[in-house]
C-alpha cells in the first residue's frame, strides 16, 4: 500500500482507543438494561421510540430504517418480531403500493411510555450525567463531525462496492 501510513500521535492514539472502547461497551450496556427491564434490544426500542414521535405514529419502512441508522433487511426482521409481539402493524401504503407503513399500536405506545423513563435514566447514568455542560456541547460537535464522514450526506444507503452508475 502507501509507504507512509501517517501513524497516530500518542494523544490521537489514546483518544482513538478510548472511543473504540466506548463504541464497543456502550451498545452492550444499553442492550443489557433494556433487555432486562423491558425485554427489548436497544434497536427494538429505537424503532418504537421513532414511531412514537412520528405523525400518526406511522412511518415508511425505508424512512424508519434511515432514521434508526440501519439497513432495510435488518429493520424488516425486527419489525416482523415487533409485529408478532403486538407492538406495531404493517400495511401497504395507499399512494404507493410498493411502500410499507409501520404503525405503532396502543400496546406499543404503552410499551414505549413504560420503558422510556428507566432507559433515559440509564443514558444519564452512563453518559450525560458524567459530562459537564461544556462537554455535552463538545460531544455534539465531535459526533457531528464524525457523522459527516460516516454518512456522506447519504442517509445510509449504498451497499455497492464499486460504482453502479
Q: Which residues bind DNA (CB under 7 A)?
A: 28, 32, 35, 41, 43, 60-62, 65, 70-81, 90, 93, 96-101, 159
How many other C-beta atoms can be found within 10 angstroms of the C-beta atom of residue 54? 17
**Cα separations in angstroms, 11 against 16, 94, 125, 148:** 8, 55, 27, 22
Q: Which does 148 bind (CB under 5 to 8 A by kind): a second copy, DNA, none?
A: a second copy
Q: Transcribe 60-81 into DSSP letters.
A: EHHHHHHHTT--HHHHHHHHHH
* Contact call for residue 53 and a second copy (CB under 8 A): no
Q: Which does 23 bind (CB under 5 to 8 A by kind): DNA, a second copy, none?
A: a second copy
* Contact call for residue 84 and a second copy (CB under 8 A): no
d(CA 130, CA 133): 10
Q: Which is nearer to DNA, 9 or 160 (CB)?
A: 160
Q: Which is nearer to a second copy, 106 or 157 (CB)?
A: 157
* Contact call for residue 164 and a second copy (CB under 8 A): yes
d(CA 87, CA 103): 9
Amino acid at each position: 500500500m502507501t509507504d507512509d501510513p501517517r501513524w497516530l500521535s500518542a494523544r490521537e492514539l489514546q483518544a482513538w482507543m478510548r472511543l473504540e472502547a466506548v463504541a464497543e461497551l456502550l451498545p452492550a450496556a444499553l442492550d443489557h438494561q433494556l433487555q432486562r427491564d423491558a425485554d427489548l434490544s436497544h434497536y427494538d426500542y429505537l424503532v418504537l421510540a421513532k414511531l412514537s414521535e412520528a405523525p400518526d405514529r406511522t412511518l415508511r419502512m425505508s424512512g424508519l430504517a434511515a432514521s434508526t441508522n440501519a439497513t432495510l433487511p435488518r429493520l424488516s426482521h425486527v419489525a416482523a418480531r415487533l409485529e408478532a409481539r403486538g407492538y406495531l402493524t404493517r400495511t401497504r401504503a395507499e399512494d404507493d403500493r410498493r411502500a410499507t407503513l409501520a404503525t405503532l399500536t396502543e400496546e406499543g405506545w404503552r410499551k414505549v411510555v413504560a420503558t422510556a423513563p428507566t432507559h433515559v435514566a440509564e443514558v444519564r447514568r452512563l453518559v450525560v450525567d458524567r459530562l459537564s455542560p461544556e462537554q455535552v456541547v463538545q460531544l455534539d460537535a465531535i459526533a457531528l463531525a464524525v457523522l459527516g464522514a460516516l454518512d456522506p450526506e447519504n442517509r445510509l444507503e449504498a451497499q455497492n462496492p464499486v460504482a453502479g452508475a
